[in-house]
Structure 1
Amino acid sequence: MSKLTPAIAAAVIAAALAPPAAHAGPAVGLDPTGHGTYSSYADLWTNVTNTALATKFIPGVSVGGGSGLGPPPALPYLSELRSQMVIGTMSNGSAINTPGGLNTGFELSAVVRFEELVDRQTATTAHFTLPDSQSAGMDVDPLHDQVQNIAFYFDRYGPRAASRAVPGNGPGTVRCYGAGSTSAGCDEPGDPDGDGVMVMSGHLIFNEANVATAGGISTGAFDMRFMIDYVDARYLDVATGAVFQNNVTGAATIPSLYTPATMWDGTPPSGVPLMKFDGSGSFALAVPEPATLALLGLGLAGLALNRRRPPAA
């Protein structure tokens, strides 16, 4: 019996999940009150500002020769990406459909953590793709099955908006989220939901990225796609099994320009904040056709690390 190689599987998934030109996928309903009465619908979540940290990645190394940063890596090798994103505007078709109060009275933000495979690299470029599986350490939602690589939060601002996520560099940035409904130092008296309510999570099914460095600054583009596994219907109207695609382009700074005390998930930089990625992206929703879902099921059945967890108390 012939086998579908990872490269062919990735190509098939990429083609099958490519978003339509007009973003004709179903829209996502949002209820900022949390009562399940959706007041706005959008098929694109746009102007997504984000900050990311790549670890276990060895930049500036030409395969086959050293660069003073240690021995060259053996290709392919795994790296890790952590990202925090805040949605800026929304649209439905060609019309802007941003709900009132977004980023003034409340925010929608997301945290991402996944492994990626460095399969090509020179002294100034790197190409990343999707490994066969994700380790349990990449899970951002311990309450639901499988390794969930992305989690969305709805956060009403408190009196002083102490829990607001502000991706970037400096005090109060790249922090909070990922430790339940509240995280130390992120909530305040009168904040109605502490560090935010998790309203959606999912697992990575496709990733491709290219990064090039010149003049001390790296630029790149990321294509990340996540199958949605959990939705809180009080806030969002979207079916599980849908796919969110996040395309991000922007600049990645050099470690000396990026010195956060900790990442959002509590991970200390430990001297290796190798990439801070500030950019703008769009979340485009799509639902694969049944044939595509069947193919995904066959191709990915053994790839995700399944874990059954007891229900939350």
Structure 2
Amino acid sequence: MHIEILLLACVLTTTAQKLRTFSVALSSSPIYPNETEILNHTLSADSSFGVLTHFWVTGEPALDFATFSYYIDGETQPSIVFIPSMLVGAGFNDQAAPWGTKWMGKGANERGWFNNFRVPFQKSIRVTGKLASSETQSFTLPINARLVLQKIENRLYEALDFVTVANITTGQGFLLSHTLAVSSASINFIEGCYHAYTEYDQPFPGEGISTGTEDYFDSAFTFDAGQFHFEISGFTHFKNQEGTFELSAYRMHDMDPIFFTNGFRFVWRNGDLLDDRGVKCILESGGHPAGSPAKSIVTSYAWVYVW
């Protein structure tokens, strides 16, 4: 998930008795279920104190239940931990807007929380963000949401073609589930990576979702442990018959939804490219094919909630 965030602070420089402002402004910055560092600032030797003066954040729906923490003066446990809506005095995730006081408010219909409580520190301040342990436990579908199934059925793709398995031109939502079935003369289609474009016009490579096909489906090394059926992923079919490889797998995203805010593309590649260092998934063209990918026949389902 990605956020937009702005933090402003000021520092008193003792030698010149001057106040100096510093800030962090992050656009499309990632935030994860594990704690993500947003700001880490230590005062210089000639500064006597600092004050965090402004907090503003917006982003995808799961942000409403993310927690932000302030570690002040080297704390190992944060003395301030909050979710954005309660920081501005709005319980029950009430999204009413616009409104504000000199201390706090909300300037957008969805998120856009801000707060001006002054947070003093004498040595350092560290700010982190963390998604709720399960986004979908906290996230409720909007009443106007609808479930869309986008399909590809037995379509032939050339080696290294990009296969757009979900194509939502406008609106918000999240990817719920994806199933892929491929038949090819080469198993090297499995080198293909997944890319999520969480805004429709986001340039390549978008957000890298896997470093190979089997990685996306929670396995590795060409599914070397064999077929499986997990709660969130499965490797459901494999056959190598007379030089034709068949494979199918599914992936659920109820535990880790891929949210989007302004249209969405979800893209798999029929094989992939290596750069001169051997790094995969980062080249749109050029480089060296990983193995010898061939033409593939693809069937795909992508289940997407949109609103």
Q: Which band: TM-score by shorter chain?
A: under 0.3
Instruction: Determine which structure has more spread, i.e. the larger CA radius of gyration.
Output: 2
Given the two structures, how large is their TM-score scaled by the length of structure 1? 0.24
Structure holding more strand per residue: 2
